[in-house]
Amino acid sequence: MSDYERGDDSHYAGGIEPKQYIMSKAMEWWRGQIVKYVSRAGKKPHYDPTTKVELPLIESELVDLGKARFFLDLRVQELKGKLTK
């Protein structure tokens, strides 16, 4: 069962949750994903998909930063595509 299914969002402890912030600012989907992943980087544990063993915190942080980069790169490519049209 995932953190989401358990309702476990303790990795966002310490202020406003990203989803509340994202919704209050009516952010675009891609921008909200970047805020979410950067906000939880280094706080949410991730697990090896094969062994189901928890990854070291630094590796978990890299997972979330990689996800944030994916959405940032997606937006950059979208903008570059608009510039070349």
What are 8-66's pLDDT values in tens digits?
666 655 678 888 999 999 999 999 999 999 999 999 999 999 999 999 999 999 999 99
CA distances for 45 relative to 12, 26, 41, 71, angstroms: 12, 28, 9, 20
What are 61-82's pLDDT values in tens digits?
999 999 999 999 999 999 999 8
The predicted structure's pLDDT at residue 54: 95
